[in-house]
Structures are given as C-alpha cells and as structure tokens.
Amino acid sequence: MPTTLTSEATTVWTGDLPTGSGTVTLDSSHAAEFAVNWKARAEGVSNTTNPEELLGAAHAACFSMALANALGSAGHTPESIQTTAAVTFAAGTGVIGSHLLVSAKIPGLTEAEFEAFAQDAKENCPISKALAGIPITIEAELA
C-alpha cells in the first residue's frame, strides 16, 4: 500500500461565472462526469452539481471509511454505515459548515459506544481535518 497517494479531478469551464458552465471529471476512474455551474451553487438548480456537493461526497465517504476502520480495529464489524454530509455555502462568505448525518447497523454496540466512535471519526477523518476552518456537526444514530 502506498504511503502517499495523489488523487485528481479535472474541471473544464467555459464562459463567465454567472452564465458559464463546466464539467468535473474524476480522473482516477473516469467513471463520472458532472455538470457544474453557478446557478447550481447559488440557486440550487438541479441536474447539475456544485463544489459543495462534491465536497460533501468526499466528506461523507471519508467519514464512513474512518468510522468503519475505527470500529474494525476495535473488533466491531459494521453491517452498514450510511452518511450524508450537508455542506453549506453562503454567497459572499464561502463554505460555512458541514453537517454529518449518520445511521449505522453495528451488532453488539451500545448507543454510547457508537457515539464515541462517531465523534472520533468526525474529528479524525482526513477530510474533516482538511475542513478544520469550518464548524463540523454530527447527528449519529445506531439503527
């Protein structure tokens, strides 16, 4: 396993900010290309994405992986972990927060134990660390 890994995504943008648009490609897989534009970011227009949604995808995936790793290291195998990351953008300010909503099935774990694992994963997943300049909140539920 490599000790460092660089992951890439590429955006091609045409036009100005208000009327222009672009595509984001995940370079490692080429499996997905996402349309992106200002209206998706500022007005919530559907059928396109925005940087905050992509950041939320990264945060949700990273958190879920960190939680699975911590649980596994402690001898608990999760049946499932579902994480939604809601990243909030304020025009003129930027990204102002990320809220993690987590539901997991983990046999033999108490609610208090789960809460401790979830808090640890929230604080220590690499994307949470990268987002240290914004508030990160969490709601965790053991299903």
Helices (H) and strands (E) in the chain, counts: 4, 6
Tens digit of pLDDT for each residue in 5-23?
A: 888 889 999 999 999 999 9
Q: Which domain holds residue 119?
A: 51-142
Q: Are 60 and 104 members of one domain?
A: yes
Question: Residue 1: pLDDT above 70?
Answer: no
Question: Residue 3: pLDDT above 90?
Answer: no
Residue 31's contacts (CB-CB under 8 Å, 6 or more residues apart) are none
Tens digit of pLDDT for each residue in 16-54?
A: 999 999 999 988 877 788 899 988 888 877 788 899 999
Q: Are 128 and 68 members of one domain?
A: yes
CATH number of 95's domain = 3.30.300.20
Q: Are 60 and 25 members of one domain?
A: no
Q: Are 17 and 39 members of one domain?
A: yes
Contact 42, 91 (CB under 8 A): yes
Q: How many domains is the chain built from?
A: 2
Q: Are 80 and 45 members of one domain?
A: no
Question: Residue 2: pLDDT above 70?
Answer: no
Q: Are 12 and 68 members of one domain?
A: no
